[in-house]
Amino acid sequence: MKKGIIILCITVFYIVSMSFSAFSEQDYLHLNKVVAKLEAGKLVTGIWSLSTSLSNARSIIEYNGFPSQEEAINKPMIDFLVVAMEHYPYDISALRGFTAGLNSKREVLAKGNLQPNLSIFVRLPVEGGDPVHAMIKQVLDIGAHGIVIPHVQTAEEAEKIVKACRYVRPENSPYRNPRGNRGFSPAVASYLWGISNDEYYRRADVWPLNPEGDIMVIIMIEDIDGVNNIDSIVKVPGIGAIFFGPADYTVSSGAYGTVTDKADKALQKVKNACDTAGITFVGFAGIDNIAQLSQEKNRMLIIGSDIDKSGRAEKVLEYLRKIASD
């Protein structure tokens, strides 16, 4: 019995090692699945995560099933979570347990490599103009694949966020600037990513500034100033994706409770700026607008949440799976 277990463990290790090596030699394997799908030109879909319980982590993993690498890239599923800690409690201990719970050995065995089926992004309770360095450091140090910062209003704020997500790069690196200021203590993150500290240092850089990076800097434009400054914001190197927050924009523009097209015009301005700059725009999709959004340059969509009982996300994924099979 013991001999059989040992042989099984060696076999699993060999499969993962050989698959990982094959990707390294032939086609760089991003450990951030969202980056991998965006580079492949695939539509990326995700949900808000309002619970950081182990049970929630398990249920989302099992919802996706245990696909092969090819299925994981090509089959519509939940590709990412945005852990909602802006208006929900910021509990770094709970988040640490949640990120650990999202690491599935069965998933690794099914795919034959270390790329998780779910990328983890955390929306923090700080805004663009606030000190952001400490929270970003804590979140990335427990294995998140990126951060979401609300209410970014200037290019200077955006650059500050990018710097907080980066280690200082070697002087001869073509990706040295904007110069990072993230402190180096990657033991937990590298453990959860399944790689060495040295490999984590190499991979834990911002994409697409560094083509081999696996960290995404995602910002939210939710205010009049942010919309007015969007053309300079999108020029900041290292921004991976941009949300537009229609609810906050309506409030900040003084139009709450009134019928107005201000938010729609602002959204379109932000989206057009992203399209021009080649930055991923994050949209919000339901079954009523998924047909339209799936044809646009919105390559990253929020389709529901973990507490939505209406089946919104499932309906969207069913639609996308159907058109993918036609």
Residue 298: pLDDT band (50, 70, 90) is confident
Burial class, 79, CB count within 10 angstroms (exposed 0-12 / middle 13-18 / buried 19+): buried
Q: Is the pTM of this model over 0.85?
A: yes
CB 155 within 8 A of CB 229: yes
Q: Which amino acid is at 153?
A: Q
Phi-psi region of 317 (alpha: psi -120 to 50; beta: other; left: phi over 0): alpha
Report the distance separating Cα 49 and Cα 287, nearest Å: 20
Residue 4: pLDDT band (50, 70, 90) is low
pLDDT tens sequence across 140-156: 999 999 999 999 999 99
Report the distance separating Cα 25 and Cα 110, nearest Å: 21
Report the distance separating Cα 215 and Cα 166, nearest Å: 9
pLDDT for the residue 3: 52
Residue 120: pLDDT band (50, 70, 90) is very high
Looking at the predicted structure, is the pLDDT value of residue 12 above 90? no
Q: What angle do CA 282, 159, 96 make, to 5 degrees?
A: 65
pLDDT tens sequence across 248-264: 999 988 888 775 788 89
Tokens of 178: 């904007």
pLDDT tens sequence across 224-249: 999 999 999 999 999 999 999 998 99
Mean pLDDT in residue range 88-110: 95
Report the distance separating Cα 324 and Cα 37, nearest Å: 15
Going along the chain from its start, the domains and CATH numbers come out as 30-325 (3.20.20.60)
pLDDT tens sequence across 153-175: 999 999 999 999 999 999 999 99
| Residue 244, H or E segment | strand 239-244
| Residue 13, H or E segment | helix 2-26
Tokens of 100: 């650990």
Tokens of 262: 């201000």
pLDDT for the residue 259: 57
Mean pLDDT in residue range 117-126: 98
Lowest mean pLDDT among 45-54, 123-132, 187-196, 316-325: 316-325
Residue 24: pLDDT band (50, 70, 90) is very low
Q: Is the peptide bond before 246 cis (omega within 30 degrees of 0)?
A: no
Report the distance separating Cα 102 and Cα 52, nearest Å: 10
> Considering the chain, what is the average pLDDT of its residues?
91
Q: What are phi and psi of 270, to 5 degrees?
A: -65, -45
Cβ contacts of residue 60 below 8 Å, gap of 6+?
A: 47, 49, 78, 81, 102, 118, 306
Specify which residues 241 forms β-bridges with: 218, 280
Looking at the predicted structure, is the pLDDT value of residue 307 above 80? yes
Residue 315: pLDDT band (50, 70, 90) is very high
pLDDT for the residue 188: 97
CB 56 within 8 A of CB 69: no
What is the helix, strand, coil percentage profile of the chain, to 5?
45, 15, 40
